[in-house]
Amino acid sequence: MKFEQDHRETLFSIIKSRRDVRGNRFIDKKIPKDILNKILLSANHAPSVGFSQPWRFVIIENKKTKNQIFKDFKKENNKAKKIFKDSKIYSSLKLEGIKEADLNIAVLYKKPKKDILGQTSQRKMGEYSTVCAIQNMWLTARSFNIGMGWISILKPKKVKKIIGLTKTQRDEYKLIGYFSLGYVDKFYEKPELEKLKWENKKSLNEVILNWE
Ligand SMILES: Cc1cc2nc3c(=O)[nH]c(=O)nc-3n(C[C@H](O)[C@H](O)[C@H](O)COP(=O)(O)O)c2cc1C
């Protein structure tokens, strides 16, 4: 397939308008199954080291499970609040949307049982491949006007138990990310942390270290 200028523009505008969405923006509307399938399918088309496709997904719709995950977030965030105690805004930040989102997805990495082509010198390549799958999900969700948020203020060990992995599965899988997904009332034009002046957006010049 040969792509044209309008495809490129659409792709770039999806990339640029993707946002991390938290609980202050999710609305009460179900994500249809066929759309969820498309989001997962796009994750499953990500590149992976040695074509290992090491990503695995757990979809969480159950309120009880969400509540338990939220409890762990609260606990972990109370610890984080102490670390950022000098910041005026940290404790006012909404840093998750666990309960407000229609669904949550845990993305896991299946640790290999044999050597993987390309992963012999750098052992984390499988985990990086899983992050590629996550980015595919994030962009595809945005193309359906569905918001997605990454919630990392959680204890992976606890999350794996709460989402129902058996002891063997907990040893076999590493939690890479925990996400909330749902329709939103609006997408911000800029990252929330930029709007709140927590961080500035870096220019291309600032991120290119060297160009020889
Ligand atoms: C690995 C990773 C972990 C993140 N964890 C959190 C989190 O725990 N809570 C949160 O509110 N945002 C989290 N974010 C979202 C970032 O804050 C967000 O991507 C960044 O501020 C830029 O905003 P944007 O995604 O809307 O462009 C995470 C993002 C990444 C890539």
pLDDT in tens, 46-73: 999 999 999 999 999 999 999 999 999 9
How buried is residue 126: exposed, middle or buried, by Cβ count under 10 Å (0-12/13-18/19+)? buried
Q: pTM for this structure?
A: 0.98
Mean pLDDT (the chain) is: 97
pLDDT band of residue 88 (cuts 50, 70, 90) is confident
All structural domains of the chain, each given as residue ranges with its CATH number in brackets, are 19-207 (3.40.109.10)
Decide if 55 contacts 46 (C-beta within 8 A): yes
Which protein residue's CA is at the shortest distance from atom 7 of ligand 1? 151
Cα(137) to centroid(ligand 1), Å:
14
Question: Cα dist. 91→4, 23, 41, 67, 173 in Å?
Answer: 46, 15, 37, 20, 32
pLDDT in tens, 165-188: 999 999 999 999 999 999 999 999
Helix (H) or strand (E) holding 59: strand 55-60
- Token pair belonging to 150: 């990454």
- Residue 107, SS3 per DSSP: strand
Cα(113) to centroid(ligand 1), Å:
31
Question: Could you tell which of 152, 180, 199, 202 is best to mutate to test the pocket of ligand 1, judged by most ligand atoms within 8 Å of the CB?
Answer: 152
